[in-house]
Amino acid sequence: MTAIFTLVETALGTISPAVTFSLAPYKGASLPDQFVVHQLITGSPEQHADDAEVERGYRVQVTIWSRSGLASLPDVDTAMIAAGFIKSAERQLPQDTETGHYGLAIDYSYM
């Protein structure tokens, strides 16, 4: 299962210009104006053979947080799709009243 986290972090590391990212939740001394966090939502067996799992599907959520709003965000889609992920649902999150960050959560699937 640790391979899925490596795949996500490798993909996010290709975003240009570079963006700060981490496994959710972000744990820095202070939050940058814009950052990305990711988390595993589900990891489900998809196929079995000879009483063993041979394929697993994953759904990960990548959330972009920005104090300046959601109009100008890093190109997470291109990075994740290039790494073999399929884009799924996305949703706006309520503005964090403590930090002022706006959030956009995007789900990606990987088999």
CATH of the domain at 9: 3.30.2000.10
pTM of the model: 0.91
pLDDT band at 59 (very low <50, low <70, confident <90, very high): very high
The rounded distance, in Å, linking the Cα atoms of 53 and 104 is: 33
| Number of domains comprising the chain | 1
Indicate if the pLDDT at residue 2 is higher than 80.
Answer: no
Question: What number is the average pLDDT over the span 92-106?
Answer: 97
Indicate if the pLDDT at residue 21 is higher than 80.
Answer: yes
Please answer whether residues 68 and 34 qualify as being in contact, where contact means their C-beta atoms are separated by less than 8 angstroms. yes
Question: What number is the average pLDDT over the span 76-80?
Answer: 98
Indicate if the pLDDT at residue 73 is higher than 90.
Answer: yes
Question: What number is the average pLDDT over the span 74-87?
Answer: 98
Structural domain span for residue 17? 2-110
Helix, strand, coil abundance in the chain, percent, nearest 5 = 15, 45, 40
pLDDT score, position 71: 95
The rounded distance, in Å, linking the Cα atoms of 56 and 1 is: 9
34 CB neighbour count, 10 Å cutoff: 17
Average pLDDT in the chain: 95
pLDDT score, position 1: 58
Distance in Å from the first CA to the final CA of the chain: 12
pLDDT score, position 55: 86
